[in-house]
Amino acid sequence: MSDHQRYERQCAVIEGILLAFDKQLKYDYEIPNANEVRELVQKYLKSKSRKTKLLKEVEEVINRWDRDSYSVLEDHIRLANFQFGSEWFYGYGDFYRWRPGEKEKAQERVKKLLTKSEQKQLAELQEAIKIRKVGKAFGKMTANVGSV
Instruction: Please give the tally of structural domains in the chain.
Output: 1
Q: What is the pLDDT of residue 76?
A: 87
Phi and psi (nearest 5°) for 146? 135, -175
Please, what's the b/e burial string for 24-48 (b: 16 or more CB within 10 A of its CB; e: otherwise)? ebeeebbbbbbebbbbbbbbbbeee
Residue 140, pLDDT score:
56
pLDDT the model gives residue 137: 46
Q: Tell me the residue range of the domain where 32 lies.
A: 3-147
Model pLDDT, residue 133: 65
User: Which residues pair with residue 89 across a beta bridge?
Assistant: 93
The reported pLDDT for the residue numbered 36 is 87
Contact 43, 148 (CB under 8 A): no
pTM of the model: 0.85
What per-residue confidence (pLDDT) applies to 53? 92
- Of all helices (H) and strands (E), which one includes residue 70? none
Query: Could you say which residues of the chain have pLDDT below 50?
Result: 136-138, 148
